[in-house]
């Protein structure tokens, strides 16, 4: 749809702890797609929608924060984040998300509200633009569309 | 994309209490689109995606439940629900959603996690397929896509 | 046992939200008897025990309250109620039950204490005469006997 | 005091669940005045103060919401509400009250803070202009004066 | 109804702490029937229904557990238990009830939900088949019928 | 209305901590009327209604208690109290209010339920006759009427 | 003081779990007097005050209950109890104490409020006449006087 | 018993808020003895036991603290305190009691554990030597003996 | 390894409620070894390690306490305890364990942290030397080694 | 540094309950400096920094409030407060601090977060400019510097 | 015991934050053995038991997760983990442990249940095979045996 | 003031997550000074006070711990830490701070008690020497003085 080759919005796809293991175990919860397959697929969908998607995964809370500040420095305009287990504990990521001006969308592959009690509450949500939860890896694609929609609205 | 004119999936768009007032007050939270504009726009998007969307709004908890059972009787294959204030209190809607076999997607226009404490917890989420929160009325469109994606996967 | 044909006690059997769906889904929890089969069977047992049982089901909290006041107007002498999901949230039904003088018995088909945490506490119990929980639809029959026993004691 | 016959402010007196039973039971808590006597008396006091009072009672949460929106459409300028048992549970009524611009005054006949623990907290209060609690049905009359006073101040 | 004299189901009626004092004090809560009168009456009703009821009372938590295991060894097929004050504290009785395969029905003479807060929650309920609460000593008779009904269903 | 000059009911208007500063700061919460203006106005309204109003303000919890006992000694027949910050913490004032037989009405200028969480709960309310909350200083006038109404009813 | 040899009030001194070990360990908390020394000393003080004190210690919750009922049968007129660790958990002892008509005084040797959090709350206190806490074994002697004082007052 | 006329231990009897009203209201809770009668009686018992008892009552939290420091300056060797409503809220009195080296005994006339929930917990107890609760005004006499016993033991 | 026949350390293996049923039911949680097989096997391992192991099981909380004091009298030098359901409720056993000087090791056959919420917290752990949890009956053998290791270190 | 002799900022040093006892007891927590030594030292440091420091201590909550309002009347420009035990309970002081416009700094001598749980939370902090905690009486000197720094910044 | 030289099971010993400081401070809690001494000793015990133990310590939560995944890639068959301070907060480590199939044993050197409240609860335990707590560094050796026992059982 | 050039105390200034972004966003909360400006200014103030200040910032929890241990190895004598978002969650940093012997002062730029609820509680405070909160970046300078004062006192 968008053809302006000389300029492309940059997005960041950020996956948190244990998502490196995606598709390798517990397929009944997370499906069988691996992280690199997921990243490739989102990059491709991004290309179709006219945005460039960079991908990053880390198990280290502080590296996720570092990567968000790097994105800010690089002029990234939107972030999709699946904070994994840090969703429920990280005030530091919350503060980072709320201090950069970039819209951030929180994605969860599984329906966290149908799992253990300690997964129901997200510390990060209040700092994000919105959340997409429970749609498997398709949720990342929805997030991409949502980001584009938000940026159009600005 | 889908041309099978002789058969069309039916979806139900269900809005709960106070959504009749959409677009009339508190535009900083809910935007300026009215409920009927929203419903028309979702019906139109549905047509483009090859699904027929019926719309219903009620302020009465039990009528929402009645409508879901009617949808079940009518062969509706997917439901998008914004349960409004019942989100946080209705075990009855939760039980209804979990007893019909139809996939249900929960939508919230605003980011409920960035508002009052009592809006953070949804009683209904554990019975739904997934949630889309904070993207304004565009969230309903994302829900439509998510529903189609879920049904494709079955 | 009771032959006084010229006078019969009237009882009300009141089923709350989602019990219209009884026997249609989740048979491992609720069994396979449908609501109308249940109602017919309780009416018949009532006839054998010499009481006339009226039946009512609604998904609307306020209609349940309305029906209880109607029962009061009609001279109903005992009520069997399965408040469904309103069991855990409805102060309004609690107040209604405690304001009419009719003895009310609370029935739950499944053992609510062996299910999710949010089903363990009943708001309504403190206003009822007693509770019968976990015996499937046979619990309604026990409730009928209990009601007759209570009225005998007065 | 006010004689402008050609124009009269319209107020709505809204009573919630179980207030249809007012004066019929538990007189030690609620007194012996019936609902229709209360409504007539408030209408009459309203006439003396130069306002027209419409009255409505419902046991159905959603109908109370519907009635408030109808009042908004009808140009009602002030609302007196006794939300009964919904006081403590209804986020939906709270949202409705805070979305219409009309000043709303919450009345409780009995001193809810001297009764059961679950009656101490009102979900609705934060959206109302003020509360009058514990003065029997005379509280409605005070509310009427308070409404007039608020509207004078605007 | 059941005439197979050469074989009779054995049931156990188990009363917990302070039920030895039944009928001696606090008749407004527990009535005036003494424990031995209760036991005799349940034995007699059992005979009419074709089951043999053994009775046991103890104030000692561990003796109640011992008695349940003895019942298991003796081929007892159903247990009626009023765990008294241990209802609210005994994980040990809970574990015992859930480890023997015999269906167990929990009875409370008074409506525990209309009494002190600390009596509202039962630790044992989740391990029982069902509960009968608030019908005075008649509740034991209902429990007997419920047990027979459960065993018929197996 | 009341002209019996030879006898006049005495009321006490009691203001707690920080109300000495009324009208000097935070007018968006408390308005611009000062404490002495408020007291004068209530004295004047009292005269019109045929009661004599004494006024007292203190920042000291124990002096408020002392003043209530003095009122009791003096034959004061009704008390209007705004306990300020002691509303939420003072069991001692609660006990004092419940030990004298004089009807006490609690007034709050602002709607405490729309402010910080720690202002929502009043320790004192359960000992008062009723509460009037959120009507600015007009609430004191309503309280005066309510007191007279209560005393008429005795 | 009291010389009526032909009749003497009987009291029961009841010590709960671990008090058999009194004086053997942890003297900084419980002192160095052993249980039998304590019992002898209380019996002797009892004789001086004209009452006969029977003593009993058990580590078994149910035996404590049994002993209280035995005391009731024996015409014991007052009970001094140190429920040890059952203080904080035993609803069964609470119920027993509140069902016999005998005044019961609760004694704790150490100041339980200056120890671990879980020792601060007594389940039993609400059923006793009073508590004497923190005075070492001298507390038992105070309890004896208090019992006599209570019985004089009846 | 003690005759050393040339030296007498000084004790302080300290009564907190609302105890000035003792014997004037709520006799079912607090009895009919007035504060001055109580003080005189304790002074007299003190004389018999060879101690001089000073008495003080205040409704002001800080004056109670001031009085304790004055007692410390005056060489008072033991304090009996009934902190009234400050029992449950005053960290300041707690700190004062724990900072002077004088043994302090806490007395409550009624059994606070058989009253409202908010009276069950004492903030002050952990700083006192012990507590005597529920024995009416006789509890003060027991406290006097306990103080003498404590001082003997030092 | 240890041959000093003329002297052998004595240990006590103490099993609490429901462990008499070990190996008879719920093998997926507790395995198929019966209690007597377990006891024999631990006695044998004890012999190999040069310690004499006595075994005791009881369903009665107080008998477990009695047995610990008996062990103390008998010169037992180490205790292995599986307190069963009393793990989560028994302050009395906690106090007993902390009053005898013998090192006590707490064993749980299953991983209690992967089961119901109410099994996660042990009241007794703070008084024990250590805990071994989740290794089936092999955990008892580990406990035996741990005890020997602790005693070596003294 | 500041030489404008003809004008000097006035500060208030306010110490709450029990600080009159500073240096007299518990030196391991509060050190050995007495209150008057502290006040003199802060006055002297103030003179060096060019500000005049008035000092006040009271054990009475309301007198602290009175003193703050007096400071406001007197043109005091900064307040250093150690609210002692009122830190954790006084909404009244909180309200006072937030209603006067003067910057207030909260000082605690000891590290309240390393002491009892009930000292961890300050009710007053949210109304102050900042807090200095744990530095002994040197904290007051730091507070003086901080106040000057704040006033420079305005 | 095991001689199959051509194949050896690999285990991972994983120590979390602050365990690098082992033996350097707080010997009363953690003993005097340093981390490298501990690691060497466990490697040696491993060799005797026929397993190869790799060792790793990190203060970084995410590096611990990375190391577990590396172990999974390397075919490690058992993990011993002391998660240090992350025990009580890390959902990310919990998720990692539950996603790899390797049995994991949690070790704590000190008895965490006898220390501060915040150390009592482990987030990680529910995902581990078992826990060994309170036996000093000997606990690691027990864990080694437990791991071998678990693997034998598979 | 201090000229001993041949020896200088070393201090460490440690900033946690998101403080790299200081001065770049949210100036109303954190001011406009950047991190490197802050560090330079503290180094300079340190030089004036005769101490050498090293600076370090990291978003990674474990790197902060590593840096503290490095400081310990390097002979650093005092630490100033702003733990950012880890303040409220990091038991690991708490344990690290309490295990090194170096005095640590906690600084927060903003008044965390006037912000979101989740920022009110610090996990780390109980292990630090003291806290300085709410004075902007000037708080770091106060901390420097406090550190020097503490070290003087040793």
Write the pLDDT tens digit of every residue in B75-100: 999 999 999 999 999 999 999 999 99
Give which of H30, H106, H98, H91 is closest to H61, Cα–Cα.
H91
Query: Given this model, what pLDDT does residue C154 score?
Result: 59
Tokens of G114: 């200056």
- Write out pLDDT tens, residues G22-71: 998 888 888 889 999 999 999 999 999 999 999 999 999 999 999 999 99
Residue E12 near residue E53, CB atoms below 8 Å: yes
3-class SS of residue A26: coil
Helix/strand/coil for J1 = coil
Residue J96 host element (H or E): helix J91-99
pLDDT of residue I154: 60
DSSP state for residue H86 in the 8-state scheme: G
Which is it for the CA torsion H29, H33, H34, H35, positive or negative?
A: negative
Active centre residues of F (catalytic): 30, 108
Mean pLDDT, chain H, whole residue set: 93
Neighbours of L29 (CB within 10 A): 12
Q: Give the length of chain D.
A: 154
Residues in chain C with pLDDT < 50?
1-2, 4-5
For residue K150, the distance in angstroms to the closest alpha carbon of chain L comes to 30
Fill in the DSSP letter of residue L88.
G
**Catalytic site residue B108?**
yes
pLDDT single digits (tens) L46-86: 999 999 999 999 999 999 999 999 999 999 999 999 999 99
| Chain K residues whose beta carbon lies within 8 Å of the beta carbon of residue L100 | 21, 25
**Token pair for residue H18?**
């609302």
Reported confidence tier of residue E2, pLDDT bands at 50, 70, 90: very low
User: How far apart, in Å, are the Cα atoms of A48 and each of A1, A42, A52, E87?
Assistant: 8, 10, 10, 64
3-state secondary structure of J139: helix
Rounded CA gap, J121 and J112, in Å? 9
Whether pLDDT at K1 is above 60: no
Q: I89 and E94 in contact by Cβ < 8 A? A: no
Amino acid A154: pLDDT: 59
Over chain I, what is the mean pLDDT?
93
Q: Which of F75-79, G142-146, H23-27, J20-24 has the lowest mean pLDDT?
A: H23-27
Q: Do the Cβ atoms of F17 and J100 come within 8 Å?
A: no
DSSP secondary structure letter of residue K110: S
Q: Which ranges of chain B does DSSP label H, i.e. alpha helix?
A: 27-30, 35-49, 61-74, 91-99, 138-153
Q: Where are the alpha helices (DSSP H) in chain K?
A: 27-30, 35-49, 61-73, 91-99, 138-152
Sheet holding J51-57, edge to edge: J51-57, J9-15, J78-82, J104-108, J130-133, L130-133, L104-108, L78-82, L9-15, L51-57
Neighboring chains of J (3 or more beta-carbon pairs < 8 A)? F, H, L
**Considering only CB atoms, which chain A residues are within 8 Å of B125?**
111, 113-114, 133
Q: What is the pLDDT of residues D124-140, one digit of tens each?
A: 999 999 999 999 999 99
**Residue H154 CB-density burial (10 A; 0-12 exposed, 13-18 middle, 19+ buried):** exposed
Task: Tell me how far apart the alpha carbons of residues G82 and I95 are, in angstroms, rounded to a whole number.
Answer: 14
Supply φ then ψ for residue D2, to 5 degrees. Answer: -95, 125
Region of residue E56 (phi > 0: left; psi between -120 and 50: alpha; otherwise: beta)? beta
Q: What is the mean pLDDT of residues B93-121?
A: 96
In chain F, count of helices (H) and strands (E)? 5, 5
Which has the closest alpha carbon to L13: L95, L86, L90, L71?
L71
Residues of G in CB contact (< 8 Å) with I are 16-18, 20-21, 24-26, 58-63, 84-86, 88-89, 118-119
Provide the pLDDT for residue B10: 97
Q: How confident is the model at residue D65 (pLDDT cuts 50, 70, 90)?
A: very high
Q: Which residue of K has its CA nearest to I147?
A: K135
pTM: 0.94
With contacts defined as CB-CB under 8 Å, which chain C residues touch D86?
91-92
Chains I and E touch (3+ CB pairs under 8 A): yes
Q: How many CB pairs under 8 A join F and J?
A: 59
d(CA C148, CA G153): 47
For J1-38, the pLDDT digits (tens) are 445 445 789 999 999 999 999 998 888 888 889 999 99
User: What is the C-alpha to C-alpha distance for residues L70 and C142, in angstroms, rounded to an integer?
Assistant: 74
Q: Give the minimum alpha-carbon distance from G67 to chain E in angstroms, rounded to a whole number.
A: 10
Which chain I residue shows the shortest CA-CA distance from G60? I62
Q: Which residues contact J84 (CB under 8 A, 6 or more apart)?
A: H92, H95, J15, J16, J17, J18, J19
d(CA B85, CA B109): 12
Q: What is the pLDDT along chain F (154 residues), one digit of tens a residue?
A: 445 445 789 999 999 999 999 998 888 888 889 999 999 999 999 999 999 999 999 999 999 999 999 999 999 999 999 999 999 999 999 999 999 989 999 999 999 999 999 999 999 999 999 999 999 999 999 999 999 999 998 5
Report chain J residues whose CB lies below 8 A from the CB of L80: none
Per the CB < 8 A criterion, the answer to whether K97 and K104 are in contact is yes
For I66-79, what is the mean pLDDT?
97
Residue L81, SS3?
strand
Share of chain A above pLDDT 70, in %: 95
| Mean per-residue pLDDT, B16-23 | 96
| Of residues I72, J10, E126, G78, the one with CA closest to residue C110 | E126
| pLDDT at residue number J1 | 44
CB within 8 Å of G47: residues ≥ 6 apart: none
- Complex ipTM: 0.93
Closest-approach residue (CA) in chain J for F118: J91
Going by pLDDT thresholds of 50, 70 and 90, the confidence category of residue K25 is: confident
Q: Say if residues J77 and J11 touch (Cβ distance below 8 Å).
A: yes
Distance (Å, whole) CA J92 – CA F21: 12
Inter-helix orientation angle D35-49/D138-152, to 10°: 30
Residues of B at the D interface, defined by Cβ within 8 angstroms: 16-18, 20-21, 24-26, 58-63, 84-86, 88-89, 118-119
Query: Which of K14, K59, K62, K122 best probes binding to A when mutated, by most A CB atoms within 10 angstroms?
Result: K62
Asked whether J36 and J67 are in contact (CB, 8 A), the reply is no
Model pLDDT, residue I116: 93
- Give the model confidence (pLDDT) of E63-93 as tens digits: 999 999 999 999 999 999 999 999 999 999 9
Helix spans in chain F (H): 27-30, 35-49, 61-74, 91-99, 138-153
Identify which of B20, B19, B25, B30 has the alpha carbon closest to the alpha carbon of residue D98.
B25
């Amino acid at each position: 749809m968008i053809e302006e080759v000389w300029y492309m919005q940059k997005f960041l796809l950020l996956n948190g702890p244990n998502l490196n293991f995606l598709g390798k175990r517990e397929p009944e919860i997370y499906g069988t797609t691996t992280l690199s397959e997921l990243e490739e697929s989102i990059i491709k969908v991004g290309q179709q929608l006219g945005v460039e998607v960079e991908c990053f995964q880390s198990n280290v809370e502080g590296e996720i924060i570092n990567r968000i500040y790097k994105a800010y420095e690089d002029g990234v305009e939107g972030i999709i984040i699946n904070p994994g287990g840090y969703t429920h504990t990280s005030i530091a990521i919350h503060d980072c998300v709320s201090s950069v001006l970039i819209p951030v969308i929180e994605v969860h592959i599984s329906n966290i509200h149908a799992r253990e009690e300690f997964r129901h509450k997200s510390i990060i949500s209040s700092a994000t633009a919105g959340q997409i939860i429970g749609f498997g890896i398709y949720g990342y694609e929805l997030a991409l569309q949502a980001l584009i929609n938000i940026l159009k609205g600005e």
